[in-house]
Every structure is written in structure tokens, then in C-alpha cells.
Structure 1
Amino acid sequence: TAPPPPLVPQSPPGSPQRSPWVFVPYQSPQGILSKCLQWLQPRDSTSPRPQVPKILLSKASSSSHQ
């Protein structure tokens, strides 16, 4: 027997709820970039940050400049 369908509704492709990075940079790129920079700045210089946020930041900045 097939399992019951998930209760979570499937959003259509390209939905803003699914990919916030598509429309957020266009609303206020400077605000988003400054927030990311503040988040990327480590409070303790001895604790390195993961590389994932930097990749997201570069994607957001490149998309806002196009």
C-alpha cells in the first residue's frame, strides 16, 4: 500500500517562499548585504566561520548587480 501524501502543501516552482534569495536582494540589496556582512563578521576572531554564508553572500551580491 502506498503511504499517505504529506500534509505539507507543495509550493509551485519559483515561489518566493521557496527561494527567498530571488526577490530579497532586489528589495534592498544594501540592507541585505550589510546584514550578511554583520553576520559573517565573527564575534571572536579565533572562531572561523563556515564557507556557506560567504557563497550565499556572493550569489546575492552578483544577482543584485545584474
Structure 2
Amino acid sequence: MREGYGLPLPKAGKWREIINTDAIDYGGSGVGNNGVVIATPDGDGRAHASLRLPPLATLMLELVEEA
């Protein structure tokens, strides 16, 4: 697991985990971001999020609220 993994995103705002293959529902260990990731603008005007990245898993995010 990687804690505080930096991820660039196309827009700042609230992102929802729509798929986390490490979720208990899929037989994983349940490591994730409690369903939500917040992306903030950085100094270059791009969006960036810090998240918990599960080992050997895939995360899929969906923008639910722009900042």
C-alpha cells in the first residue's frame, strides 16, 4: 500500500471511487480512500490529489463535484 500517493487529475474537486478492486466486495483487503478523493489545484493550475493506493489493485475515479 502507498499512503499519500500523488495523482494528477484533469479537474479539481471531489472524485468518487467507482471501482476499487481491493474492496472487500471483490475479495480484497479493503484498502482504499473511503470512497472519496479530493483534488486541489497546484501552483501550475493543474489538479492534484493525494490518495491511498492499494497494492495490486485498480482504482477508477469519477468527478462528482468541481471545485
TM-score (norm 2): 0.25
Name the structure with the higher strand share.
Answer: 2
> Highest relative contact order (Cα 8 Å, sep 6+), 1 or 2?
2
Name the structure with the higher helix share.
Answer: 1
TM-score (norm 1): 0.26
| Structure with max Cα Rg | 1
